[in-house]
A and B are shown apart, each in its own frame.
Chain A
Amino acid sequence: MDELLKIEHLSVGITSTAGKVQAVRDVSFKLHPGEVLAIVGESGCGKSILCKSIMKLLPKSAKIEGGKIYANGVDITDYSDKDMQKLRGKLFSFVFQDPMTALNPTIPIGKQIAEAILIHEPKLPKEEVYNRVIALMELVGIRQPHERYKLYPYNFSGGMRQRSVMAIALAANPKILLADEPTTALDVTIQAQILDLLKEIQVKLGTATILVSHDLGVVARAADRVAIMYAGKIVEIGTAEEIYYDPRHPYTWGLMQSLPALNKGKAELKTIPGMPPTLIDPPVGDAFACRNEYALEIDYHEQPPMFQISDTHFAATWLLDPRAPKITPPIGGKANV
């Protein structure tokens, strides 16, 4: 077994006033030690709920309805909150989007990192805790850690705060880091620093990371593999090169074509027409069909399976069926770069 995390046919439902939302539908993937897997997708397609279901941080109204989650080979699907407490921090850790809400404004940064260490090793002597905090601060690139130990979050810039959040997340040497839009709120120079840090940690500690991001530039910089999600499902997954240079799913084409870099000088940015389906009553066939200019008849009544393109590249679109008409993709098509 060489995967740290294995998700098999995971489905999550949320009861709401309007009916049951099928936020995650039959999702499967594996995460290997030391890799960065990015999850990209439509707003509201279930990325955060997927992460929360792995961490067992789902809202009360949500429930895992099918499938399995294996961490380090152990089935944790039915773990209670109490069982999970032991895994959080050590096996899994989480970085939230907004660094300000993740930190307590009334406690000095150093002390907050120390607390994160003490949760997992309550008996560690004071001096050793201090040394560990300093080492963590250095690891995430906070210079002059001794001087900064006593400073409060408001004394830190946005980038420094996000580094502190990373230090807290890494306090117990987690094997798996789930980062939900960790750099969205940061300027591009700090963004790049945090991403490089993520890569460095991955090399130094062997941490595997799930990186949720909308920014295809950020993903290009940091990800080894990329999963594209639409309406609760993974519709395409592959190495970063495969997804950027040879995308196969029409939704992936639509995303790439919306980038301002590809629309310079045009009066309008290209968009994907229509709206995503509500997840309360997802359509029987391919959920993307009604927005897909390449949709086939079969898309409207049968969901496409995952077609294999290479050892690492899979996409769920009927266009890959041998019987489908051959079309020229509007973008990419640079296989084997």
Chain B
Amino acid sequence: MSDILLDVQHLSHVFKLSKHLRLNAVDDVSFQMKKGEIFGLVGESGSGKSTVARCIMNIYQPTAGKILYNDINVCDRREFQKHHKMLEERRQIIFQDSTSSLNQRMKVADIIAEPMHIHRIKPPRGRLRAEAEFQLSYVGLDASYLDKYPAELSGGQRQRVAIARALSMEPELLVADEPIASLDVSIQAQIINLFKHCNKEHGFSILFIAHDLSMVEYLCDRVGVMYHGKLVEVAPTAELFSNPQHPYTQALLSAIPIPDPIVERNRKRMDFDEMTFEREGALTEVAPDHFVLRKEDRQ
């Protein structure tokens, strides 16, 4: 077996906005994730990160391209049907907007236990409720929250319920779309430590989508940067942060807010002019494992 868990090849997704209007939300994106890797996906708001995540999870059927998961082409209906149960169990997603992804009529305990229930997984701690309590404690909430409804929780508490639900399945691939943006920094740290633990001890691979670049720098092995539906740069984390090549990546990194008022107020950031963006071209290797979107003739 190869060590590639996820192979995204020339993925495109087009939304039809109206009869005449089409939006290339994701445009010819390719990347791979190795088994046990934490891959960060960052970039402009609206650049297509969540759409990539949804295609990977079979929520959207891509317009073009294919996605191989453990060598299974999940975009192929027949192959998907054949491995349906395994795929549903092994891949879990934490949605960017947990408020609308949680069933408002279910109590927290049932929300967390639902996937285990559906897949008839025997809870390691005996009863489903005990398992739900255990998972909840990992995200910093005690048993008193088990009988609450989502509407009775704060934004960050709801988000943590969604995280507990996804982790309870011990997925092979966890797609985490902005999982921590609504949490305070101490709980963010706790969740990130938890992700690291799951990655190290249980071998979870994680696709981590986030705007918080300092957290991405801390957590991820490799990072991809998206802009206007395109993947413009991919590199190992340290390389990307120390040696960004694409002008958009440079602008993005220059805008990372620094938690120091005097420094931050007086800081200049670089701007990226939309008009100068070159959509054409291909990912070109500029350093080992470091790829940048470039026009081919420019080498």
Contact check: which of B17, B43, B214 meets A187 at CB < 8 Å?
B43
Give the bracket for the number of chain B residues in contact with chain A: 35 or more
Residues from chain A with Cβ under 8 Å of B159 in the complex: 43
> Which residues of B lie under 8 Å from residue A271 when comparing CB positions?
186-187, 189-190, 193
**Separation in Å of the B267 CB from the closest CB of chain A?**
8
Among A48, A159, A217, chain B packs the most CB atoms within 10 A around the CB of A217
Query: Which listed residue (A186, A269, A272, A278) contacts B142, Cβ 8 A?
Result: A278
In the bound complex, CA of A221 to CA of B43 (Å): 21
B46 touching A158 by the CB < 8 A rule? Answer: yes
User: Contact at B218–A269, with CB atoms within 8 Å?
Assistant: yes
With A157-B45, A259-B185, A275-B141 as contacts: A188 and B155 at CB distance below 8 Å: no
Interface residues of A in 227-281 (CB under 8 A from B): 240-241, 244, 254-256, 258-261, 263-264, 267-272, 275, 278, 280
Measured CB to CB, the closest approach of chain B to A57, in angstroms, equals 14
Residues in A with CB closer than 8 Å to B130 are none
- A182 interface residue per 8 A CB criterion: no
- The listed residue (A44, A98, A157, A215) touching B257 by CB distance below 8 A is A215
Q: Which residues of A contact B148 (CB under 8 A)?
A: 16-18
A42 interface residue per 8 A CB criterion: yes
- A98, closest chain B residue (CB): B97
* Min CB gap A224→B, angstroms: 9
Residues of A within 8 A of B269 (CB): 189, 192
Complex Cα distance, B257 from A216, in Å, reads: 8
Question: Which of the residues B147, B218, B259 comes within 8 Å of A256, measured between beta carbons?
Answer: B259
B140: interface (CB < 8 Å)? yes
- Whether the Cβ atoms of A43 and B183 lie closer than 8 Å is yes
If the complex has contacts A216-B185, A260-B218, are A240 and B211 also in contact, measured as CB distance less than 8 A? no
At the interface, yes or no: A218 with Cβ under 8 Å from chain B?
Answer: yes
Contact with A along B116-138 (1 / 0, CB 8 A): 00000000000000000000000
The residue in chain A whose Cβ has the minimal distance to the Cβ of B196 is: A268
| A189–B155 CB distance below 8 A | no
State whether the Cβ of A205 lies closer than 8 Å to any Cβ in chain B: no
Q: Judge if B9 is at the interface, Cβ distance under 8 Å.
A: no
Q: Which of A59, A189, A244, A271 has the most CB of B within 10 A?
A: A189
- Name the one of B97, B193, B217, B258 contacting A269, with C-beta atoms under 8 angstroms: B193
Min C-beta distance of A290 to chain B, whole Å? 12
| Given A268-B193, A275-B141: A214 touches B213 (CB 8 Å cut-off) | no
B97 proximity list for chain A (CB < 8 A): 98
Q: Pick from B70-78, B248-256, B291-299 the stretch touching chain A.
A: B248-256
Contact of B259 among A159, A244, A268, A280 (CB under 8 A): A244
Does the CB pair A278–B255 fall under 8 Å? no
A180 closest partner in B (C-beta): B155
A44 and B153 form a contact (CB under 8 A): yes
CB of A181 within 8 Å of the partner chain: yes
8 Å CB contact of B262 from A158, A181, A217, A241: A241
List 7 tightest A-B contacts by C-beta distance, closest first.
A217-B257, A43-B156, A158-B45, A269-B189, A216-B259, A258-B189, A44-B154
Further pairs besides A187-B42, A259-B214: 12, Cβ < 8 Å: A44-B153, A44-B157, A190-B45, A214-B183, A214-B184, A217-B264, A221-B261, A240-B261, A258-B186, A260-B217, A268-B193, A280-B144
